[in-house]
Chains A and B, each alone.
Chain A
Amino acid sequence: MRSNMFFLLVLGLTFPLSGVSQEQTTIDASRIFGDLSARHIGPALMSGRINDMEVHPTNPRIIYAGTAGGGVWKSNDSGTTFNPIFDDYCQSIGAVEVDPNDPDNTIYVGTGETWTRNSVSLGDGLYKTTDGGSNWKKIGFEKSERIANVIVNPNNSQEVYVGVLGALWGDSEERGVYKSSDGGATWIKLLYVNPKTGCADLAMDPTDPNTLYASMWEFRRTAWSFESGGANSALYKSTDGGATWNKIHNGFPEGKLGRLAIAVAPTNPEVLYTVIEAEKDERKGLYRSNDGGANWEQLNNDFGITVRPFYFSRIVVDPKDENVVVKGGLSGSISRDGGKTFKNLGNMHSDIHDIAFSIKDSDIMYVGTDGGVYRSWNGGTTMEIVQNLPLSQFYHISVDDAEPYNVYGGLQDNGSWYGPSSSPGGVNARDWKSAGQGDGFRVLKHPTKPIIYSEMQGADNVWRIDTERNLIKTIQPQPTRGVEKLRFNWNPPMAISAFQPDRFYMGSQYLHKSEDMGDSWEIISPDLTTNDPAKQNQEASGGLSVDNSGAENHTTIFTIAESPLDENVIWVGTDDGNVQVSKDGGKSWTNTVANIQGLPANTWCYHIEASSIDKGTAYAVFDGHTQNDMNPYAFKTTDYGASWTNIINGEVEGPVRNIQEDYVNPNLLFLGTEFGLYITLDGGQSWSKFTNNMPAVAVHFIDLQKRTNDLVMGTHGRGVIIIDDISPLRALTPEILDKNVHFFENSPTVISETSNFSGNFGGETEFVGPSKTKNVQLKYYLKKRHTFGKMSMEIQDMEGNKIVEIGPGKSKGINIVNWNYTRNVPKVAKGKTFTFGGFTAPQVPAGTYKAVVKKGKDTYEHSFELVYDKNSPLSKADRDMKNRITMELYDMVQELAYFVYEMDEMIAKMESDGNKKMLAKLNTLKESLVITTGDNYVGSAEPQLREKMTNLYSKVASSYDKPTKADFDNLQLITERFDKAKADYAKLKKKIKGLEGISLMSFETFLESK
């Protein structure tokens, strides 16, 4: 009773809170997205970065890939194809571990990639499934950020070790080696050094689960520097299940150490390999121990072994041979003499992060690279790419206004590309065209000319590509007398203008403007950054191994936006936290960041969106993760930055990368975050995560294609993802949300008369992104899911004549029903075989139609319009003729069907009457009407009237064009033959007695019958 009282008290405490929030004019968008679903178009041809490969311990068909930004993928066919199994959770993966005691069911996924380049994403803990990946549960390590290893004791599923690398951008105590003795329910920390040193690698002696090796790494990244190594990096061994640890450095180099890898040879656990990052170059490289780590000998310090230890530090030993060792690297290296000498792995995408040998045959290898998973069948000599991993990591995307529109974007380590948003047969690898080298970032289409701008890291090259004439030149701003050295971000901003098609902006610390497509440049701003010299010392970056790739360039402009309403209003955001605005085309600038309340100093301004509805309005989002601040920040101004309002709340998780305002409804906003897409319908008072076929992937850039209202996202790990036509969201108001059924307005749908040959053999294992539908889409809102009673939908002409019946959607929220503007196929005469022409469904003519929904006792109607393509070569008269002849043939096919039905009834009657003479005559006539022998393939019989008629029907109905003279000639032949058959039959019929004994269905009933 007392506890009941307590509950009431608790209830009383919680109710007022929910009451308050309901009083505001928020629109809860959760559970209303319904059929609005994301469409993935890849590309997969260059795939994306892989962090960890894992094989099943007993089933060689099963392989897992833990990817840097695209989740966990599972192959059931020995690596031929993969499917995603972790879409609802953080997509940045550190380690995948299959429990060797329960390998079909129990899998652990440690999130947070561990090859700590500048652009790495973030993890959010350790996950476990006990049903092979259908359901996942987070089991801790929320603040771990990066998990390097998970190891399950091969004799005891309850014992799990986790190596936590931990936070990259700041101090954290959630690092080191942890152990669970209850399958992950509780954890104890076994090995911890300090808040800057994490576990970079963990290994277990396969014959003695109490023997463990752990490499600890001191490391830190800021937005402007990287530091690998320190006095605290070390290699440890435990022989008591992690209770005590000892350094095993006998034979190691002197001084500070950097990132170390550790591997135990499965066939001889006394043999260990480590790769050491040391102070002196000559002491770096591969070391081997033959006595379980008591003594070490340096074997090799080739480039392939020592290159970029923070990025490549994986050693894998052949499970069948302790002397075959593979090391990740720029190309990947393999030794067959126990580590003394190495050669490169075969040609594949560079930057090899992990290698897994097949459990069955060590000739078969799976290799994870910056460009996807590769397979080898011959011990690593030749490599082939897995073609269905759309893991491309976009930094930025843009769209043009072509039909279908193209998507442009730059990729991590994979250049720049553009491809169509839809393509015949789906968006294939071959649809994508290359538009730049190196790491690709921003790619923009010239508003009116066949010109593309693209770039590589640090604006080392900015290309202007004439795609029509295949002419390329570089146009980046260059050093000028009297101007300080230009500082470009690794991901340098560019922008075009809605007013001057040839105008082109770029940002260093200054804003550069060109009015002639980059041929000449003018600096139109002072240094807009903080110009903090402490953040400009990139030559010293890297720690024990200098790493001055340009990736740490800082105090630079990162985002540029010219208002689409006023070319003199220009916004600039910088990576060191300034938000600058000019209202006079760059003559004067105001830094407005001080007007933003609640934003920590120097937080990276990731994107500014200048409103297309009000010119004083803009949105700015900030990403604090490089300051170890994982909070979301999004603000709105309506007064050119004089004041800013927070438009985000506790519903959004993780750093924000981008924001997109709808062109029509200013309360409809889209937010790209590190963990997915969020949508608000109320200007940011409440946000809902969009999860319909949308993984929790980092959304780096969002664009809204104006003509189609398609939301196009550049994700950093799952390629380009599109939500087709978001306009229903625009229309959702509290009034509409309160209606039981509401149809959204359709703009007229163009009847597609185009067709293509998209035959593609050899692409069976290739990723193909679905194209946007060309169907008319009927969209309606249901307040509640329809579960009980009948609900149907018919398409009718405006006179109420039924054209087709369609299965309606029943979801709560937005439903989308497709109709391909055809009526049903004609009913054809029954023969021995199919007549394939009879499977053609004729398109209806352009005009106004209505969808009629019957739901219980209620009827809802919605009219919509179909129109012809204005660019079609057909005149109205041509089209009328085509439709008339098509329907003449359609009716003739059905008339023949009824005719044959009647004859069949007659034949049955003659059979029962024993009238053999008449039976023979009727059968002879029927044999001239339909095929009565053979099969549907090469055993087919000579075509008869039915086949000829349906073929002509199909030919005329399927053609975009009006019927030809040949068609008319053929039609005449067929008509004559049919007329003759009818006359012959009429003559026979006169001779038959007892006709009254036959009762025939009416023509209408016959059409409705099976």
Chain B
Amino acid sequence: MRKLSFILSLILLFLAVPAQAQSVDEILNNYFENTGGLDQWKSLEGIKMNAKVNQQGMEIPLEIIQLKDGRQMTTINFQGKEIKQGVFDGEVLWGHNFMTMKAEKNDAEATANFKLETNDFPDPFIDYKEKGYTVEFMGTEEIEGTETYKLKLVREPLTIDGNEEQNVSFYFFDTENYVPLAVQSEIRSGQAKGMTQEITFSDYQEVDGLYFPFSMTSGLKDGPSNPMSFESIELNPQVEEAAFAFPEEIVTEEKN
């Protein structure tokens, strides 16, 4: 009887092995290795992505710039007009108002939370320990019919409506090739607060030695999502420095 229970416990142990064998660092090392190598990721200075969102009859072109120093900018083209959203110059987060098409600053809380991401280019997992983040292996989970390793990433706390909240997201790495297939995180503000957002990644392709997902979807977990596809990704792009700065409106006196 004792022998039988010993064998049973061994079977259990054996079944548990594949999951246990993965440590956080193994998963992350494999991920960086398989997508171009950690050193190359670390040497990246910036990326410029040309994307389009297909919204049932509307094909909206986007240009997204992300730089190592935290500066970012998304430019959307509607009817030939450029609308900038999520522009961050390192201090000020701003975007165009759709009615007036003039630049307006985001609220202080959103800006402060955005600024926390400055050290997350090109990937929050790079040097996560040095940044004081914690990463925990949560086991395996199925994403889009595919087995993944689930990692929990905790970054700097956010401030939401005056209260400090933990900044938690869950990453799902394909067990076969270690690239992320999805990220889930709680929606922090607005009407959907408390619901879970899911972003999925596919169409990984190489750009100058690094692998990027050329297709993403974002939406509510278990709900409808919007696809976004990338036409091109440029590494270390030349950028116009002034484009990031918040355009202070200059009052001019009208001459009669």
Contacts and interface: CB of A to CB of B under 8 A. Distances in A.
B121 interface: no
A76 B14 CA distance: 42
Contacts of B205: 788-790
A984 interface: no
9 contacts: A6-B10, A11-B14, A61-B163, A76-B194, A83-B195, A785-B145, A820-B57, A828-B80, A838-B79
A721 B12 CA distance: 37
A937 interface: yes
B159 interface: no
B58 interface: yes
Interface string B172-191: 00100101010000100001
B214 A790 contact: yes
B10 A131 contact: no
Contacts of B101: 833, 935-936
A805 B58 CA distance: 10
Interface string A134-146: 1100000000000
Interface residues of B, number: 56
B200 to A, nearest CB: 8
Interface string B75-92: 001111100000000000
Given A61-B163, A132-B166, 16 more contacts: A11-B14, A37-B222, A131-B168, A134-B196, A692-B222, A770-B224, A787-B146, A787-B174, A787-B177, A789-B205, A790-B214, A806-B54, A820-B57, A824-B57, A829-B80, A1010-B61
Top 10 nearest A-B pairs by Cβ distance? A807-B227, A841-B57, A812-B145, A830-B80, A811-B144, A693-B222, A937-B99, A83-B194, A31-B145, A822-B57
B20 to A, nearest CB: 14
A931 to B, nearest CB: 11
B193 interface: yes
B3 to A, nearest CB: 11
B119 interface: no
Tell me the interface secondary structure of chain B in the complex: strand
Contacts of A74: 194
Contacts of B165: 104
Contacts of B144: 34, 785, 810-813
Among B14, B79, B100, B186, chain A packs the most CB atoms within 10 A around the CB of B79
B49 interface: no
Interface in A774-812: 775, 784-792, 804-808, 810-812
B152 interface: yes
A693 B223 contact: yes
Interface string A841-869: 10000000000000000000000000000
Contact of A830 (B58, B79, B98, B146): B79
Interface in A96-137: 104-105, 131-132, 134-135
B243 interface: no
Contact of A936 (B100, B146, B177, B227): B100
B202 interface: yes
Interface residues on A, range: 35 or more
Interface of B: 7, 10-11, 14, 54, 56-59, 61, 77-81, 98-101, 138, 142, 144-146, 152, 163, 165-166, 168, 170, 174, 177, 179, 181, 186, 191, 193-196, 200-205, 214-215, 217, 222-224, 226-229
A57 to B, nearest CB: 14
A792 B79 CA distance: 25
Given A807-B217, A825-B57, A32 B145 contact: yes
Among B57, B81, B163, B174, chain A packs the most CB atoms within 10 A around the CB of B57
B11 A792 contact: no
B58 A939 contact: no
Nearest to B145: A812
Contacts of B61: 1010
B74 to A, nearest CB: 14
Contacts of B228: 807
Contacts of A805: 54, 59
A135 B224 CA distance: 22
A532 interface: no
A132 B152 CA distance: 13
Contacts of A7: 10, 14
B100 A939 contact: yes
Contacts of A829: 80
Interface in A407-426: none
Interface of A: 6-7, 10-11, 13-14, 31-34, 37, 59, 61, 74-77, 81, 83, 104-105, 131-132, 134-135, 692-693, 764, 770, 775, 784-792, 804-808, 810-813, 818-820, 822-825, 828-831, 833-835, 838-839, 841, 897, 935-937, 939, 1010
Given A83-B194, A811-B144, A936-B100, A1010 B80 contact: yes
Contacts of A34: 144-145
A549 B214 CA distance: 63
Contacts of B194: 74-76, 81, 83
B242 to A, nearest CB: 21
Given A132-B166, A791-B202, A833-B101, A841 B56 contact: yes
A829 B78 CA distance: 11
A787 B202 contact: yes
Given A135-B138, A830-B80, A833-B101, A785 B163 contact: no
A935 B100 contact: yes
A77 B57 contact: no
B203 A790 contact: yes
A804 to B, nearest CB: 7
Contacts of B214: 790
A10 B7 contact: yes
Contacts of B227: 806-808
A134 to B, nearest CB: 7
Contacts of B177: 787-788
B77 to A, nearest CB: 5
Nearest to B202: A810
Contacts of A833: 81, 101
Contacts of A838: 79
Nearest to B228: A807
Contacts of B226: 807
Contacts of A134: 152, 168, 170, 186, 196
A100 to B, nearest CB: 18
A75 B191 CA distance: 12
A813 B144 CA distance: 8
Contacts of B152: 131, 134-135
A834 B79 contact: yes
A784 B145 CA distance: 8
B119 to A, nearest CB: 23
Nearest to B10: A10
Contacts of A804: 54, 57, 59
Contacts of B168: 131-132, 134
A937 B100 CA distance: 7
B209 to A, nearest CB: 15
Contacts of B10: 6-7, 10
Contact of A76 (B11, B193, B201): B193
A54 to B, nearest CB: 16
A780 B153 CA distance: 34
A822 B195 contact: no
A77 B200 CA distance: 29
Given A764-B191, A811-B144, A822-B56, A936 B203 contact: no
Contacts of B215: 791, 807, 810
A935 B99 contact: yes
Contact of B203 (A31, A104, A788, A822): A788
Contacts of B222: 37, 692-693
B75 to A, nearest CB: 10
A142 to B, nearest CB: 16
Given A788-B203, A811-B144, A935-B100, A824 B193 contact: no
Among A132, A823, A835, chain B packs the most CB atoms within 10 A around the CB of A132
Nearest to A935: B100
Contacts of B196: 134
